[in-house]
Chain A
Amino acid sequence: MRSPSPIRAAFRQALAEAWAGGAGALLPIGFFAGAAMLVPFTVGSEANQLAAIGTGVLWVALALASLVSMERLFQADLEDGTLELWAQEDCPLFLIATAKILAHWTVSGLPLVLLTPLIGITLQVPADQLLPAMLAYGLGGLAFFFWGGVAGALAASVPRGGLLIALLALPLFVPTAIFGALAAEPGAAGPNILFLAASTLFALAVAPFAASAALRLAVD
C-alpha cells in the first residue's frame, strides 16, 4: 500500500474548490429547503395530511438536492487538466474519485442530513421520529452522493450534462429510496434500516470503480 497522501490531497483540494466557487456548496442546501418548503403550499397545511407524506417528501427532496452541483464535481477537473494529472498517479483513480465524492458529501450532503429534523418539523413529522429518520437520511444521502458521483463522472465530458446526470442517477436511487422510505416509517425501522444500510454499502463498494472507469474514458 502506497502512502495515502494523494487521497488526502484530493480531498483537501475538493473541499477548497467547493468553498471557493462562490458558495456553490450551499446550492444543494438551498434547493433542499426550498423544495421541501413548497409542499405545505401545494398540498395544504393540514397537519394529518402533511404528517402522512412528510418523510416521503424529504426523501424526494434529498434525492434531487444531492444531484444539484454534481455536474461540476469531475467536469471542472477535466476542463482544467487536473484529471489528466490524477489519471497518471500511481494511486488508483477510484480512490481519488472516492475522496472527491466524500469531500463533496462533507460540504453539501452532510448539511442536508443535519437540516432534515428542522424541515421535518415544518412538515409535521412527529418529533419522536425525527432522529431515527435522520439516521436513515444520512445512510441514504451517502448512497445518493456516490451514485450521483458515477453519473457526474459519466457526464463529465458532456457540456451542460446536468439533465443527463439526473437521468443516469435517478434509476440508481430506487433501491435506496424504497428501503429508505420504509425505514423512515414509524415503528417499521428494524430490518428496513439494515436493508438501507446494505444498499448504501453496495453503493460505496461499486460506485468508486464505476466512476473511475468513466473518468478514464473521459480523459482519453
Chain B
Amino acid sequence: MTDGLLIEADGLGAVRGERMLFSGIHLTLRPGEALVLRGPNGSGKSTLLRLLAGLSQPSVGEVVRSRPHHWLGHRDGIKPHETPRQHLRHWGRAWGSQKKADEIAGHMGLERPMDVPGRLLSAGQRRRTALGRLLLVDRPIWLLDEPFNALDADGRTLLTELIASHRESGGGIIAALHGDAPFKASREVVL
C-alpha cells in the first residue's frame, strides 16, 4: 500500500478538551515533496505534526510512516548544560552517526558558540544546533514545527538550502509555517 509513499494519513481528526480541532485530514508525502501546514494560531498545526510523528494518538484516523523520520519541535531539545558540540555528539552516539559533530556544527555556522552551554545560547543558535541534528543521520522524513522561527537571514538561507538538498536526495518534508515559505511547497494543507 505504500508504493513510494513516505507518509500516508487517512481521515485524521483530533479533539482537544471538548473541541474538535480538525477532522477528515488526508495527506500523503512522496519523496522529494515538501508539504506546508497552514492555519491560524491554535488551529492544530502542531497537533497534526505530533500525530504524524507518533507522539500523540489520533482521535480518529490513522498514520502510516514507511520510513524513519526526524523531528524538530518548537522546543529545541537542548539541555541547559549542553554545548552545541556536546549536543550533536550525544545524539550522534545515540543514533550511531558516522558524521563528525564538529563538521556539522561548522556547517550550521556554530563555530563560535561551539562550547557555550545551552542556557547561554541565543534562540537562533539553539535552533541551528537543533537543525544540525537533522544532518547526523539520513532519515527520509523531516517533520518540522515552525523551523524558521528565531533564525536570522543567514540561518533562513541555510535552512532553505538544507531543505532543497534533502528533497533532491529523495527526502520529504512536512513543515508547519506561518508567513511565506522560503522554499517551493509541493502542496499546502490548510487547517
Q: How large is the interface on B (under 10, 10 to 19, 20 to 34, 35 or more residues)?
A: 20 to 34
Binds A, one of B32-40, B73-81, B153-161, B178-186: B73-81
Contact yes or no, B91 A220, CB < 8 A: no
Taken together as a complex, chains A and B put the C-alpha atoms of A23 and B77 apart, in Å, by 22
Q: Is the CB of B79 within 8 A of A6?
A: no
Bound-state Cα–Cα, A81 to B56, Å: 15
Residues of chain A within 8 A (CB-CB) of B79 are 13, 17, 20, 76, 80, 82
Q: What's the Cα separation between A89 and B137 when bound, in Å?
A: 13
CB of B75 within 8 A of CB of A9, answer: no
Closest chain B residue, CB of each to CB of A78: B75
Say whether B94 faces chain A, with CB atoms less than 8 Å apart: yes
Nearest neighbor of A16 in chain B, beta-carbon distance: B81
In whole angstroms, how far apart are the Cα atoms of A3 and B137 in the complex? 15
Q: B69: which A residues are within 8 A, CB to CB?
A: 88
CB–CB A12/B73 < 8 A: no
Q: Which residues of B contact A90 (CB under 8 A)?
A: 68
- Contact indicator B81/A10 (Cβ below 8 Å): no
Fill in one digit per residue for A77-94: 1 if any B CB lies within 8 Å of its CB, else 0.
Answer: 001111011011110000
Q: Which A residues are CB-close (under 8 A) to B118? A: 80
A42: interface (CB < 8 Å) = no
> Chain B contacts of A10 at CB under 8 A?
94
**Shortest distance in angstroms between A63's beta carbon and chain B's nearest beta carbon?**
29
**In the assembled complex, which residues on chain B have CB atoms less than 8 Å from the CB atom of A16?**
81-82, 86
Contact indicator B94/A6 (Cβ below 8 Å): yes
Q: Within the assembled complex, what's the spacing in Å between the Cα atoms of A5 and B53? A: 22
Candidates B71, B78, B81; contact of A84 at CB < 8 Å: B71
In chain B, what residue has the closest Cβ to A79?
Answer: B75
A164 → chain B, closest Cβ, in Å? 23
Minimum CB–CB distance from B82 to chain A (whole Å) comes to 8
- Once bound together, how far apart are the Cα atoms of A192 and B53, in whole Å? 48
B75 touches A88 (CB 8 A): no
Per the bound structure, the CA–CA distance linking A90 and B77 in Å amounts to: 18
B128 smallest CB distance to A (angstroms): 15
Closest to B68 in A: A90
A115 to chain B, nearest CB (A): 26
Partner among B54, B76, B91 whose Cβ is within 8 Å of the Cβ of A81: B76
**B91 cross-chain contacts in A, Cβ below 8 A:** 9, 85
Instruction: Determine if A168 is an interface residue (Cβ-Cβ < 8 Å).
Output: no
In the complex, the answer to whether B94 meets A9 with C-beta atoms within 8 Å is yes
Distance in angstroms from B133 CB to nearest chain A CB is 8
The answer to whether B78 and A80 have CB atoms under 8 Å apart is: yes
Expressed in whole angstroms, the Cα–Cα distance for A76 and B71 within the complex equals 19
Does any Cβ of B come within 8 Å of A21's Cβ? Answer: yes
Q: Roughly how many angstroms separate A84 CA and B53 CA in the complex, as a whole number?
A: 10
Q: Does B93 lie at the interface of the complex (its beta carbon under 8 Å from any beta carbon of A)? A: yes
- CB contacts under 8 Å to A, within B72-117, are 73-82, 86, 90-91, 93-96, 117
Complex CA–CA separation, A79 to B57 (angstroms): 20
| Contact (Cβ within 8 A) B75 A21 | no
Q: Which of A13, A17, A85 contacts B71 (CB 8 A)?
A: A85
Scan A166-209; emit 1 where CB is below 8 A from any B CB, else 0.
Answer: 00000000000000000000000000000000000000000000
Report the minimal beta-carbon distance from B150 to chain A, rounded to whole angstroms: 14
Residues in B neighbouring A135, C-beta threshold 8 A: none
B1 adjacent to chain A (CB < 8 Å):
no
Q: List 22 A-B contacts (CB under 8 A).
A: A5-B94, A6-B94, A6-B95, A8-B93, A9-B94, A10-B94, A13-B90, A16-B82, A16-B86, A17-B79, A17-B81, A20-B79, A20-B80, A80-B76, A80-B78, A81-B74, A81-B75, A81-B77, A82-B79, A84-B71, A85-B71, A220-B57
Interface residues of B (CB under 8 A from A): 53-57, 68-69, 71, 73-82, 86, 90-91, 93-96, 117-118
